[in-house]
Amino acid sequence: MDIGTLFGIILGLVLIIGSIIVGGGASAFIDIPSVLVTMGGTIAALLITYPVGKVKAVFAVTKKILKAGNLDLEPWYRTLVELATVARRDGLLALESQLESIDDMFMRKGVQMMIDGNSAEAVAAVMEQEISNLEDRHAIGHGIWRSMGSYAPAFGMIGTLVGLVQMLRNLSDPSSIGAGMAVALLTTFYGAFFANLFCIPIQGKLEQRTEEEVALKRMLLTGILAIQSGDSPRIVGEKLLVFISPSERGRLER
């Protein structure tokens, strides 16, 4: 798992839970009906908005992405320069032998199309469409986490309103006012906590990741088109370098 993400989640939990324990009365912060209203309401609204299949798929993808480390552009850079070297030396058809060593479906498809003799326009069109479809599919994942991040505080507020109305009907017993209001506020707390420590950060992480993947795929497309147009390995490398941040370029040019 990405060490920063794990550390962030633990840090957040320790700080909030710690401040609860230090303040005393941690048991007052556990209230099953409040959890059910906040989290259950969020899930209910989510199931109305999105098909069950997509919600499940997004959770699986999220788990995979949180586990994965960061994307490193370097090996892709080296592979492309190597393919360019082979193509320059032995011709485009010689890439056929390299094909099975390419794991990535996207890159493989591009190289295959190139070997099959498709025009640069055809290769670019199909691969651009793949990138655009990837963005569309990922957008659903961002949407699901964004929805959770806004449903959770909303249902937290709904729960608090229910609790307030119930408390206000029993004002005759002053001793119960504080406890009633404390319980009423719990759902707002749950909603804000869940949204800000999980939903919104995870949505941000997924969006980051989509951008990284799209940038990688654009780099792959640029590389394949450069190889197809017969560029020398040095030129291919230079065209790829613009996709890499200046601070990392030095390492690659060596």
Q: Which of 98, 143, 213, 252 binds a second copy (CB under 8 A)?
A: 143
Q: Which of 81, 86, 94, 162 binds a second copy (CB under 8 A)?
A: 162
Plot region of 117 (φ>0 → left; ψ -120 to 50 → alpha; else → beta): left
CB of 96 to a second copy, least distance (A): 19
How many binding residues for a second copy (CB under 8 A)? 96
Considering the complex, state which of residue 37 and residue 84 has its C-beta at the smaller distance from a second copy: 37
Element (H, E) at 205: helix 200-228
- Asked whether position 239 contacts a second copy by CB under 8 A, the answer is yes
- Asked whether position 30 contacts a second copy by CB under 8 A, the answer is no
- Asked whether position 119 contacts a second copy by CB under 8 A, the answer is no
Closest CA to 95 of 228, 238, 251, 254: 228
Tokens standing for residue 99: 């094909």
Closest CA to 253 of 81, 3, 54: 81
- Asked whether position 178 contacts a second copy by CB under 8 A, the answer is yes
- Asked whether position 197 contacts a second copy by CB under 8 A, the answer is yes
Considering the complex, state which of residue 29 and residue 81 has its C-beta at the smaller distance from a second copy: 29
- Asked whether position 37 contacts a second copy by CB under 8 A, the answer is yes
- Asked whether position 211 contacts a second copy by CB under 8 A, the answer is yes
Tokens standing for residue 43: 């899930």
Considering the complex, state which of residue 35 and residue 94 has its C-beta at the smaller distance from a second copy: 35
- Asked whether position 94 contacts a second copy by CB under 8 A, the answer is no
- Asked whether position 23 contacts a second copy by CB under 8 A, the answer is yes
Residue 13's contacts (CB-CB under 8 Å, 6 or more residues apart) are: 197
Q: Which DSSP category does 173 fall into?
A: S
DSSP string, 59-106: HHHHHHHHHS----SHHHHHHHHHHHHHHHHH-GGGGGGGGGG---HH
Considering the complex, state which of residue 88 and residue 137 has its C-beta at the smaller distance from a second copy: 137
Residue 46's contacts (CB-CB under 8 Å, 6 or more residues apart) are: 55, 144, 147, 148, 151
Q: Which of 97, 101, 119, 133 binds a second copy (CB under 8 A)?
A: 133
Considering the complex, state which of residue 101 and residue 170 has its C-beta at the smaller distance from a second copy: 170
Tokens standing for residue 228: 């197809």
- Asked whether position 251 contacts a second copy by CB under 8 A, the answer is no
- Asked whether position 115 contacts a second copy by CB under 8 A, the answer is no
